[in-house]
Amino acid sequence: MLETEFPSVNIIKGDGNLWWTGAVAKALDTLRSSFKPGDFFLLVNNDSILQPETVAILVRESVHNGRCGVAPLALDYESGDPLTTGFALRQHHVLLDFEHQYAAIIEPSMLFEAESLYGRCSLFPAEVLDFVDNYDAETFPQYYGDVDFCLRAREQEFRFFVTGATCIRVQHGADNTGSHFAFRQGAQTLAEVKANLFSIRSLDNVVITWRYTSRHHPHRAVTATLKTAWRSLRYWRPIYAVVGPHTPQKAATRAAPASQGASLVGKALGFLTRTLNVCVVRFYNASLRLQRRAFPR
């Protein structure tokens, strides 16, 4: 379709193994030499539907705010409900919950600063590549690649915003969502749990979680990785029979016997992860003290 309807578009072909971050990195490597001062690059996922004025508005907002990174509001295609768009400031371990922030930024003139933006539709000044090089496809082939890029850019004092001046519609489908969506629909076999723990297509991949938290939030790396592992393990049939389906805390009602079991398991897991995290932090601090004594400045 692109070749026939948009013949001027440069189509960059991969080998089928690039995943999301690798595809973005390959595109930027190809285009980088052609960027001129004042240029931008725009990331758009194949399930994102833009309005005619979206790109112009994002460019305007970036220029008016010191050539920052900008993303529009993201709405579900079917329901129109707002979707998570990035990480909020000072909330490293919690995804920005735009379901609650939406009312605060719906005015066209409002900007909401974020630590990072998701890749479904984000505009960046081309010069950011001079400071952070490119997306790290080797470390984060699918998930966290967009967040990692932005956090590294923030270390170089780049800023990121979500604007209420425009929005996109996101049309989720079976072919363009992570494997963890289907996994969380009910009890799973041990093989399916293992696949969810280590699949590149899974947001619950414990290896990727460890890489991300170790790089950007090392004080939470152990806790975050264990919690991610628990998100998969709780769906293993023997455990699922005790704890039942996951119920968001905000929608919880009076506990039934199954949810009482879930509460006990959750408390035990919380105690273990807190204890382990304290031990790791103390060991890390002790090793730093030993290094300073052995190699004084």
Out of 79-83, 103-107, 135-139, 208-212, pick the least confident.
103-107
| Cα–Cα distance measured from residue 95 to residue 212, given in angstroms and rounded to the nearest whole number | 14
Q: Name the pLDDT band for 164 (thresholds 50, 70, 90).
A: confident
| Cα–Cα distance measured from residue 83 to residue 72, given in angstroms and rounded to the nearest whole number | 11
Domain with CATH 3.90.550.60 in the chain: 2-170
Calculate mean pLDDT across residues 157-167.
91
Q: What percent of the chain has pLDDT over 90?
A: 52
At residue 106, does pLDDT exceed 60?
no
- What is the structure's pLDDT at 269? 66
For the chain, give the mean pLDDT. Answer: 82
Out of 143-147, 166-170, 219-223, 250-254, pick the least confident.
250-254
Calculate mean pLDDT across residues 36-40.
97
Calculate mean pLDDT across residues 44-63.
95
State the DSSP H helix or E strand holding residue 216, giving kind and residue range, or none if neither. Answer: helix 206-216
- What is the structure's pLDDT at 115? 87
- What is the structure's pLDDT at 43? 97
Calculate mean pLDDT across residues 155-184.
84
Cβ neighbours of residue 50 closer than 8 Å, sequence gap 6 or more:
44, 72, 121, 168
The structure's pTM equals: 0.77
| Cα–Cα distance measured from residue 112 to residue 65, given in angstroms and rounded to the nearest whole number | 12
- What is the structure's pLDDT at 266? 63
What's the CATH code, domain 2-170?
3.90.550.60
Q: Name the pLDDT band for 271 (thresholds 50, 70, 90).
A: low
Higher pLDDT, 194 or 162: 194
Helical spans, DSSP H, in 124-169: 129-132, 145-154
28, 20 contact by CB (below 8 A)? no
The predicted-structure confidence for 61-81, as pLDDT tens digits, reads as follows: 999 999 999 999 888 888 887
| Cα–Cα distance measured from residue 269 to residue 243, given in angstroms and rounded to the nearest whole number | 13
Positive or negative, the CA dihedral 51, 56, 61, 66 is positive
- What is the structure's pLDDT at 263? 62
| Cα–Cα distance measured from residue 114 to residue 69, given in angstroms and rounded to the nearest whole number | 10
Q: Name the pLDDT band for 172 (thresholds 50, 70, 90).
A: confident
- What is the structure's pLDDT at 86? 62
Calculate mean pLDDT across residues 6-34.
93
- What is the structure's pLDDT at 72? 92
| Cα–Cα distance measured from residue 162 to residue 105, given in angstroms and rounded to the nearest whole number | 8
> Could you identify the residue written with the tokens 């966290």?
144
Backbone φ and ψ of 218, nearest 5°:
-60, -30
Calculate mean pLDDT across residues 155-181.
83
Calculate mean pLDDT across residues 232-253.
77
